[in-house]
Amino acid sequence: MIKIGIFGYGNLGKGVECAVAKNKDMELVAVFTRRDPATVTVRTEGVKVYHEDALKDMKDDIDVLILCGGSATDLPEQTPKYAAMYNVVDSFDTHARIPEHFANVDAAAKAAGKTCVISCGWDPGMFSLNRLYANCILPDGKDYTFWGKGVSQGHSDAVRRIDGVKDCRQYTIPVEEAMNLVREGKQPELTTRQKHVRECFVVAEEGADLARIESEIKNMPNYFADYDTTVNFITEEEMARDHSGLPHGGSVIRTGATGMNNEHTHVVEYKLTLDSNPEFTGSVIAAYARAVARLNKEGQTGCKTVFDIAPAYLSDLSGEELRAHLL
């Protein structure tokens, strides 16, 4: 059994817990939190909740520690820190900062003889793999990625970090006209702003400066500054009534030409429609936690991404079973 620890018991942590329960070769042994453990109730029978401080004493009890914090401020600090103690998986999703994050985690993991996977989920993650596959197959082509419509957990979390914000749901919405042009193989030149719009529903603290909050959201680098963003201030009751779900999805598309004279056009599209963003992301993470445990046993240390791990490492089936039933 692969012994799993979860650090952070928000939406993603609960999604990982659900995923671990569905994998017969995994066991959830502990949940860690920065909150008072007495205030956190997990759904897996017999699993104890510990304060973050206990992580320094439980290295022998856990094969893989899954970090479920936010990418804005949590993971840049937490992943290198705990890569020095544990085999780790995170879902760091600030694309522009992935090289920097990789270098920090790689140095810590190699020094400790640990194995880590960063930026694991569906984008970055499954979409990244499909971009790579399609690029290799259609070298003469162009990539397009469309997200949504759905709730972005990372963007929602980033808004919640703003002073005066009590809660937020941020929806990423693809521009249909742009998607249709791509699917027709037209290969349009599209700016970030032409591909998506962002819509925020924000519950503000009483007396908060709404104009300042809106300005901070719209000008936030790596999150909103490059998009047309609408900010709606709503009540807690409206949030609970209208925005309690966490759907998401999207498509990664590559269009390309083959033939000596580029006479044939091809469109490769990988699409996801997710009823629960955190539960699907947690399911991807669980599969890569299996790979991390195996790689560490083989002596492969340092930081990895989804590009570095062969698909067979994700499955609980043997090579013989994979060749017989899935190849």
Q: What is the pLDDT of residues 44-77, one digit of tens each?
A: 999 999 999 999 999 999 999 999 999 989 999 9
Cα–Cα distance, 77 to 56 (Å, whole number)? 15
pLDDT tier for residue 152 given thresholds of 50, 70 and 90: confident
Q: b/e string for 72-96 if b means 16 or more Cβ within 10 A?
A: bebbbebbbbbbebbbbbbbbbbee
Per the CB < 8 A criterion, the answer to whether 301 and 115 are in contact is yes
- What letter does residue 125 receive in the DSSP assignment? B
Q: What is the pLDDT of residues 32-45, one digit of tens each?
A: 999 999 999 999 99
Cα–Cα distance, 66 to 118 (Å, whole number)? 10
Mean pLDDT of 284-298: 98
Cα–Cα distance, 87 to 107 (Å, whole number)? 13
Q: b/e string for 130-162 if b means 16 or more Cβ within 10 A?
A: bbeebeeebeebbbbbbbbbbbbbbbbbbbbeb
pLDDT at site 21:
98
Closest CA to 18 of 306, 316, 297, 278: 278
